[in-house]
Structure 1
Amino acid sequence: MAPIVRKPGLWVSAWFAFSTIIVLWVDAGYCFNRPRSMPGGDLAWIWAPYNMVPYAAVDYIYGLPSLERGDGFPNAQALMNVFEAILNVEYLYLRHYSSRNSKLQPGQKEHNYHGHAPLVGFAATVMTCSKTLLYFWQDYFCGWCCTGHNSRWLFWTSFVAPNVTWIVVPAIVATALGRFMTEALNREYATQVAFEEHTALRQSVAAPADAKGDAKAPSEVTEADMVFTPIGRTCMVVGHNRLAASRVLSLLEAEADVITASEQEDELSEELRYRIKTGQIDYLKLDPLLEGSGWSALLKSHRVALLCVTDTLIASFRRSARSAEFIAIAASSLNIPLNISDQPRLSTFNFPSVHRFPGIAGPSSLQIAVSTNGNGCRLNARIRRDIVSRLPPDVGRATDPDTPLNAAVPQLDTPSLLNQAAFELRAVETEDEDEQLRRMRWVHQMSEYYSYEALGRMGEGDIERALGTWERKAADGGLPHHEGAVEGASTVQREEKEGGRIYLVGSGPGHPGLLTVAAATILRTATVILSDKLVPAEILALIPKTIELHIAKKFPGNNEGAQNEMMELALTAARRGETVVRLKQGDPFVYGRGGEEVLYFRQNGFECTLIPGVSSALAGPLMMGIPVTQRGVAESLILCTGVGRAGKSVQLPGYVRSRSLALLMGVARIQQIVDVLTNPAGSGRDGAAYPRNLPIAVIERASSPDQRAILSTLEHIEEALKSMEERPPGMMLIGWAVLALEGEGRVDVLDREEEGDGEVVRGWMDGQRWKVREGLGSEWAKLEGMGVVI
């Protein structure tokens, strides 16, 4: 590949040529030939201009007294001038006669330039400056002993002016050559093509959270995460093969104006011929001899916004590396994004491997893209297929703009909305913005918690029923389950039909493998399932599609309405003789409002069958390797909620060094919770204040593939949570048990004095403010493969 040749200017070469003559003739030759070169000597004629002053009388260091007393400075300086002259000549040779590339490609012209020339020239100019300064300062520090006898005019014109010139000019040359050297340090010489754009576009800003807890830092060089929208822009595809046809199709689907260009019109693929014939794209035949300036003019004349080159692949016609480089230079000069197939070092963007899911009528808006950042491209397709195979085929239907969900909930024309929906909703007029905001908040919740299958299958009737029930009141204006004592079962009117049953079931922390056998069985045999929104999609995926499924529409401000709705639906279905499952996350009786439902159903004639679930209060920390109790660290556990009824705050327990505090819910209120726990004079806490360096773990989506634990102290946990996306649902564990099993373990906290707790925390955090652990261990995948996981 021929490099881009940007050479130092000819004025630099002119200086080196002039400097070489002067230092060899005036200085080195004169000094080495004294006294024959001095006035009266047989060689004085060679230095006649020099002796006209005469300089030996201006500067005694070059005169006869210096020679007679054996002063070695003039000859030492003359020898340095010889070395300087050698470097000057070497620069001129490298700059004008040598070539860095000894092996040229066929047809490539000799560019007569070696990239080391600036380095050699820089060394020569530094030597010039340094020896001239040495010459000047030696006379200054001896009190102008060699030149002080001259008149002021002769001193300035014959001594100062020449020496200042020999300092200033070399300094300017050194600066110019130093710029070339600095650029060379930033890149390999052979990859100068589009260097600035190449490095700018390949800097990653999408890096994982910094493990040290500071602001996110760029990781190693990678691709920028973005989607290009070329609607109405001219995009050019250079090539004639199947890959060119694929690129053209992608750009047409993005509504770009496409030009196909090639040098071999007769080798165009059938697909490209068809699109040219039908007017979908324009065709441009290229001149095979087109080079740098020609490419620039071509791209500029067609106002190209994006350029793809595909004919660099192995085929009957393959574009040369030199030609690809010309294209890269032209695209770089015009700031045009460029992709050259199999040439990642010349490309400023790459095409990922993409799968577009089908929608209601044709392709949907949902696309899955996989990129290896220009490396391992052949692996892209395999990884993409693996991802696609794990998603339901109709998931794309949920993203179509004409789906009932998107059509029924138009988007407000406001800059930002609280809890804005994850769906991209069409902008239509609405008279009641408050109602629309409520609907959008619910759509956000449904997007987050409904299964892909349920979202994809939703019809117009389903969405109308779903959006209507959030504002519907109970038929009697309220539910009696908080309005007085419940009558005994013997006095309750029995309305149960034969076969109508209600099961209150706990789904565990989230992983299907942690369901109890009883829970897994009833999920497959029920006829109606009413699920809380926190039950993950992996659990809901176990439910046969023939079973009627409802998901609670709980969002801020609608919790009570959604709870009442689910109990009404359960009661109505049970009266029809259905087998109803009321499915809850974790255990129904651990902050799951299960007790309220038991009493409500009992009052209305149905006795629930209770199936416990593994509580996330215990399983969540365990899944991240954190015990809730540990001998020598935590002797007891207290379980609380971070949010009371109707969103009110709750009374939290005080600090006991040997106790763990587990808080379910409340991660969104971390600031208020930390303030209550740590403020010595704060209300809302029953007991001593918690130390600000006390360990805390926020555990999110425990047992799910994307589970995460954020480990920090009460002092820094709020900052840690703000630095990353939340992954609800989450819980908190506060206390020394959080660090008990870290590394080699720390199970002697209670055996040490409390004054040493700060040292324990510093050793645990290792200079960081927070640490993040995420992901489900690989052993769980092995269990699934063995059939252990349901």
Structure 2
Amino acid sequence: MTSCSLQSRLRLPERLLILTAVTGTSSRPMVSPSCNSETRGFSNPHTGGSLLLSFSFRKSSRPDPQSAPFYILGSGLLAAQRAFSALEADASVVVFGKGGLENACEELKWRVHHGQVDWVDLDHALGHHNNADDVFKSDTADASALETYFANLPSSVTPKFLCITDTLLSLPTRRSRASATSIYNLCRARNISVNTTDYPTLCDFSFATTHRFLDVTASSSSPSSQPSTSAGFLQIAVTTNGQGCRLAGRIKREIVTRLPRDVGRAVGNVGRMRALAKERDAKFDLEKASFPNSSITEDLDEIDPCGDTDVASTPNLPVPQRPGKSCSSTKMDGTTLDSEPTAERTRRRMKWVAQISEYWPFEKLAAMTEKDMEKYLEDEESEPEGASATTKEGSPHPTLSPPSIHSIFPSQPNSSRSGQILLIGSGPGHPSLLTLAAHRALTELADIVLADKLVPAAVLALIPSKVEVVIAKKFPGNADRAQQEMMERAVNEARRGKCVVRLKQGDPAIYGRFGEEILYFRNPPPSSSTATNLPPLPPTLVIPGVSSALAAPTMFDIPCTQRGASTSFLVTTPVGKGGKTLKMPAYERSRTVVVLMGVARLGAVVKALVGSGRDNGDYPPHLPIAIIERASMPDQRVIESTLEDVESAMESAEVGAQRPPGMMVIGWSVPALWGEGNVNVLGGDDDGEGGEDAAKSVNGNSELHQTTEGGHHQEEKSEMTNRENLQTVEDIERVRNWLGDGVRWRVREGLSPAWDIFSL
């Protein structure tokens, strides 16, 4: 992020951001340009960005970017991610691999084939063709190969950066520390900065977790027009300095989702307005011949590249104004406007840009046209319609820091009433989706809240500060013990006369251990902390919640049942008690399958569903699937693909890290409401409401599957095969119409701004 005064605006929770992915329709959230058949689903880099290092590969800073290539050692997914980031910074990327390009990941192969990345085989550099296992046995072999490569570079090429990616902890053939050290020492001797994955002591620089705001605009004034996307100028980066990479990603998402959806466009417009100010002043001086032509450029170059920071720390100080069109052009000091030096005049304009950056709404900045910018620069003394200038001091609603949810001062027991346990579902995440009963319990009745770890902060923020909040310590491997601790705590607090709210995500009866807790609270076992002679507690009151199994698909216009696409739905999970793998249900064309708690096991789930691809119970590989993450929250996201491509989608640079909690929706209901709709999947006389001919959709109950007598058996079997083949062709065409020709996945992200009216 630059140091422009606009930066100070990017810190308040305003609007929800909708980002990334592929083409859509005007009825859908805003999405980015499509991946076509030539890209094989991989995102093309939007060049012109920065790696967020103190170094730029842009042509404006170096006469030839090829003179300082960005080197990457390794050929896996991490190497592909590093290459994509470098390409967005206009770098020339060279990848060192082993075992030939055929052993590289699919994305790197594609980028090498299309000339985006150069490939160097280290085995050839070594002068032999040993396999990767043999080469890894030598701790100095690769360092020697790199030394030979660097020594033979032209004198005009100066290596600056090298990323070693094949030291990732999870790699089965991880590079040894000794080998990485040899390479690191070689680079240090050549003044090459090194980043070595998972070896922090062998790093001269590190990568922050970043986000780039694309500049999304409507392609025309028509309400049905598709959005167009260009490279964005605004980037943010978060680093925890090696203390928690996953936490850095979460913090980045929190920042991103609290910024307005048009903030990238606003930054681009402010930059264009600054450029226009300089261009207009340069043109003015050329016309008036106030300065020699050579001095104009020099004067403008002397102005700070972020010249709109040339303003006092408080933005309330007035900006020097130019006389209006009806006023005299003579300034108070006796000089005229025409004689004002170019640099001074441009600097004054920059101060004006700083003012509007500070006070105008982001929506106003994002909506500016070039004609508007010229008008604002020409007539600076008048405030254009729609601009605002309010100060924090004048705000009637000051922002307060939320109270801590880890209070060490529990509320005192209430001896005037008996205790009570309320088992509550918090819904999918958005506070407005709480039931009225749940909202009252949290805000008025609770003395203590025992919450599951997946309950979002937005719901916890509703709880008064006087109420103690305890978050379940359900880290991996501790779920059962944490569950037991929460149940024991609930009973103990209720017996002290407190109203205990046991807060769960979604609906407590859907994979929420609802039954275990009801039985435990009904008859808790004796323990050292509970007396056996105490009277039984009042029956636990269960307040249902909106289940994410139904709410999450709805947030993205995916129905679980839809006439013509799905007559029923099934909720399941691949994970049983103690992590045991469960059997997945067989395929039925007219049924939607919702899979909870399975995204982390995506590969195994897909393999179990697709199977051999021949049995009646196997799912077709082209069947649509949606992976929905953090439904109803500001950073909600859906990845839409097919069973055969969804793993590649989740590993792509476009998707990046997962955002738990996530779930899967599988079946023909996924594309049913996309665009103009696709609700003729089942065909026949099936209306999606259990009609008597619903089974005629070529599934296990089809009449074509009935065994007939005599010579008709073979004829009907052949007819069945032909019908199935025809249906497969039609289904593949449906998927192509849904995703786009050659497109393998789509990413949609963010909560519609319309949800702002339901903020609590």
More helix by share: 1
State if a TM-score over 0.5 links the two structures.
Answer: no
TM range, normalised to the smaller chain?
0.3 to 0.5
Q: TM-score, normalised by structure 1?
A: 0.43
Find the structure with the greater CA-based Rg: 1
